[in-house]
A and B are shown apart, each in its own frame.
Chain A
Amino acid sequence: MKIAVAIKRVPDMDTRFKIAPSGTAVDETGLKFDMSDFDGYAAEAALQINEKQGGGEITAISLGPDVVQETLRKALSMGLDKAVQLKADAVPFDGYAIAEALAAELKGGSYDLILFGRMAIDSSNQSVGPMVAELLGLPCISAVSQLDVSDGKTVKARRELEGAYEEVTCPLPAVVTIDEGVARPRYPSLKGIMAAKKKPLEVKPAQLGPVTATVAKMELPPERAAGRILGENADAVPELVRLLQTEAKVL
């Protein structure tokens, strides 16, 4: 199957963020970056689909400055076949601006399946995948926890709802966004890392859409006050209940 996987480079969340002097972004000094979690699931899902079907080609696409090439190389080292960087000075916050750029690149690609992560773990907007589908006129199933495209014609997927789930189908070609549950990404092998260096990585200018959503301010939420350990066995239960009633007032 000819598959495209959209990938975003995001900061590692296991850190104490600081706000940049601009006040509208996090300070990137000292941050580690990696592929957004759900995008890793999408890349793995694409690999498993083509491994089962024996063949096909998977293209990783990422929008941003040249540092995203590192994330694209990681995707290639997992086993994806080629990569495209849509070069932009920065990744806009506005999902629609990004969607137009991705749609322009994906339009002529005659992909059977276009995969996204459910959302980028940093901006958390969960918007670009369905927007790209709209712009391309393709059907879209978002946030799927199970995915089956084994007949080569139809997407059969499951979506988790609040206290329920639903089963959804649509014809291929389609856009699907991947949630928890589909696949855990493999670690690149040494062989994969070596092979990735020789795989094609094309750089094209990003044709971003209009920006109407911007970040006016970023700030850190208030720190939690230090907690206390009330005891080391069930003797502490009455004190806990008292505090829940009188201090926290939640009981």
Chain B
Amino acid sequence: MPTILAFAEARAGQLRKVALEAVTAARQLAGGDQVHAVLVGEGGIGAHAAALGQHGADVVHVCEHAGFARHNPEALAALLAAAANTTGARVVVLPASAHGKDVAPRVAAKLKVGLAADLTSVAFEGDAIVGRHPVNTGKVLATVTLTAKPAVVTMRPGAVPPAAQPKAGTVQALAPVGDPSASRVVTTTLVQGNTAKLDLGEAPVIVTGGRGLKAAEHFAIVEALAEAFGNAAVGATRAVTDDGWRPHSDQIGQTGRLVSPDLYIAVGVSGAIQHLAGMRNSKTIVAINKDKEAPIFKIADYGIAGDAFEVVPKLTEAVKAARAQS
């Protein structure tokens, strides 16, 4: 059985959780065979190789170059395609993150193969790679078969949680293909939000505010509820991001983020089709909305048909109390 290659995504010198997820997924595919990880960044990024070894990488190819200080999709795609060839990779696994989704199609095109994107599971079936991929805004599940060698796949963040499975993690220096500092596409600035805050794709709990909150400053009650959970991120509906109350990057819906947390709490959200498309696959859904007839209640497991400004602060207190006891 041949090698599985995983892209270990880092940002600003830090390994991202999806890097461990990609290596874990590669380990599951490889069975007893070799997993090679590719780790790129500026000088010092190689320090993260050990964590990749812990999650199942036999070999970690490290490319340290000043041109990789920020996202460099052209140089990265060239490097990954070359690594796929030199390692004889059977499958290339990338995260379906913002950077992974940017790079994976470039790698597939360089290798002249199709791509299976945003998979929630992946496995060998005979000689082919088979993955599950939600399509039509999550209303339909497709099972995708890849017959190309290598096969290129991206894994939905959170679909394969990182699992410790220590392997050697032997570091090998990897030379860049061409000069990464000479790429035509240049990332000039990276602005990180509050890095202590959980991303919508990673948070086990999401609290989302809609138009029912009436004004941007009223998001404070949503923020407070998220804070009380301690592991929650705050989302928004399109109506709210269109009005500029929250950034576009917070939008959950058909044209925004598609999320599936363990718990999704919709506050003052009517439940437009556009929004439901982004969150319908959440495990447990709670809706708090004044309008008993709001469509959000059709999809919610538990609803309170009341005033958010009265209910949410009480819920925040109750969640704090429950967490203090546990």
Contacts and interface: CB of A to CB of B under 8 A. Distances in A.
Contacts of A166: 70-71, 187, 189-191
A164 B193 contact: yes
Interface in A204-234: 209-221, 224-225, 227-234
A129 B102 CA distance: 10
Contacts of B256: 180
Given A130-B102, A163-B197, A230 B304 contact: yes
A17 B138 CA distance: 11
B164 to A, nearest CB: 23
A187 to B, nearest CB: 16
Interface string A123-153: 1111111110111000111110100000000
Which residue, B109, B184, B303, has most C-beta atoms of chain A within 10 A? B109
| Interface SS majority for chain B | mixed
Nearest to B18: A162
B65 to A, nearest CB: 18
Contacts of A229: 292, 297, 303-305
A158 B39 CA distance: 25
Contacts of B306: 231-234, 236
Contacts of A97: 114
A44 interface: no
Which residue, B16, B130, B140, B287, has most C-beta atoms of chain A within 10 A? B140
A28 to B, nearest CB: 12
Contacts of B106: 130-131, 133-134, 140
B188 A167 contact: yes
Interface size class of B (residues with CB under 8 A): 35 or more
Contacts of B319: 241, 251
Contact of B314 (A95, A169, A237): A237
A227 B70 contact: no
A38 B255 CA distance: 7
B311 A237 contact: yes
Contact of B299 (A171, A227, A228): A227
Contacts of A248: 263, 283-284, 301-302
Given A180-B255, A210-B112, A248-B284, A122 B11 contact: no
Given A233-B307, A237-B315, A140 B185 contact: yes
A112 interface: no
Interface in B129-155: 130, 133-148, 151
A141 to B, nearest CB: 6
A250 B286 CA distance: 12
Interface stretch (B44-52, B93-101, B172-180): B93-101
Contacts of B168: none
Given A14-B273, A237-B304, A127 B115 contact: yes
Contacts of A236: 304, 306, 311
A228 B287 CA distance: 10
Contacts of A241: 315, 318-319, 322
Given A227-B299, A232-B292, A216 B145 contact: yes
A162 B114 contact: no
A162 B115 contact: no
B141 A221 contact: yes
B64 to A, nearest CB: 20
A169 B251 CA distance: 25
Nearest to B256: A180
Interface string B233-262: 000000001000001110100111000001
A11 B292 CA distance: 30
Given A143-B98, A171-B184, A93 B144 contact: yes
A65 interface: no
Given A17-B136, A245-B322, 4 more contacts: A164-B191, A169-B188, A221-B138, A227-B299
